[in-house]
Structure 1
Amino acid sequence: MTTKKDPGSTVFFRLTIDGQSLGSFNGCDGLAAQVDIEQREEGGNNGHVWQLPSRVRHSNVRLTRPLTEETTRVMAWISSVATGIKRPTAQIEALRADGSLVARWGLLDVVPVSWTGPTLDPNSPAVATEVLEIAHHGFTS
């Protein structure tokens, strides 16, 4: 009898840029694509309106995690943009707590959009977190 892994178990996300690990994140949102549709009405054909795909839009991806020493890798990547824009390929892997792979997304032509560090307030005992936002030009396998 084979054991089925629970897809709803705790998942974390590992980000690599051109094979260089930027560490693990506990939150990931924005993995989405939207196809713009143009509607065309054909003369003499009143039965329907043609729905034609045009552009594909990809939303920015936001990754969050508690502040770690891996932040320096993220800052180095963001700083590298100042010396010239290079659009590498990224991989985001969703992993279970035991490290087994749930899913993988390849992102084409990635560029950092923003990084937000923690709010350091002694009156707030919350975990110090960081948010990395990246833009891309599409998915790859």
Structure 2
Amino acid sequence: MDEQVRESINQAFRFVVQIDGINQGAFTECTLPAIEWEVQEVKVGGLNTYVPQLPGRRKATKLTLKNGIGTGDLLQWCLDTMGETFTRRAITVKLYNVKHEPLLNWHIADAYPVKWTAPQFKTDSSTVAMQTLELACGEITVEAA
């Protein structure tokens, strides 16, 4: 494969997750939130060929991180949430190219943990300390780095 073509292929496995601007853990999987809007139908008398639609509110969505090892700060944030102390934080997911140059940044405001799944402990397994972490998301912006 031509070197120039190889460099233009952006593989999705080079990413970093930051919480409040600090790398807080390593994860093998990151499912970014879908940005989806509700649609309101407007019924207009005498208009039978189509139903006009207007944009409504953005639907609630979640960021999912899987198979991770987090810092003490990340673990404490999850434990605080289980104790019903909800602290909203800023999350940034950064995607890098094959040369480790930044490509895209997803900024997620007002995120907080809503689900934390611990792994099964088995002597013949190599699972990591945090199986799944789901975060509720506030405003989402995407920018080229």
Give the TM-score taking structure 2 as reference length: 0.76
Q: In the alignment, what sits opposite 2:86?
A: 85
Q: In the alignment, what sits opposite 2:108?
A: 107
Output the CA distance in 2 between the equivalents of 1:103 and 1:24. 18
Output the CA distance in 1 between the equivalents of 2:120 and 2:64. 18
Q: What amino acid is the match of 2:20? A: D
Query: How far apart are 1:105 and its partner, in Å?
Result: 0.5
Output the CA distance in 2 between the equivalents of 1:58 and 1:83. 20
| Cα distance per residue 1:108-130 (max 9 Å; x no partner) | 111111222221112xx332132
Q: What amino acid is the match of 1:103? A: L
Query: How far apart are 1:45 and its partner, in Å?
Result: 2.0
Output the CA distance in 2 between the equivalents of 1:13 and 1:26. 9
- In 2, are the aligned partners of 1:12 and 1:25 still within 8 Å (CA)? no
Q: Which runs of 4+ in 1 moved over 6 A?
A: none
Q: In the alignment, what sits opposite 1:42?
A: 44
Q: Secondary structure of the equivalent of 1:92?
A: strand
- Worse overlay, 48-57 or 38-47: 38-47
Output the CA distance in 2 between the equivalents of 1:12 and 1:24. 11
Unaligned 5+ residue runs, structure 1? Answer: none
RMSD: 2.5
Q: In the alignment, what sits opposite 2:54?
A: 52
Q: In the alignment, what sits opposite 1:137?
A: 138
Q: Secondary structure of the equivalent of 2:23?
A: strand
Unaligned 5+ residue runs, structure 2? Answer: none
Q: In the alignment, what sits opposite 1:16?
A: 18
Output the CA distance in 2 between the equivalents of 1:25 and 1:132. 10
- In 1, are the aligned partners of 2:10 and 2:98 still within 8 Å (CA)? no
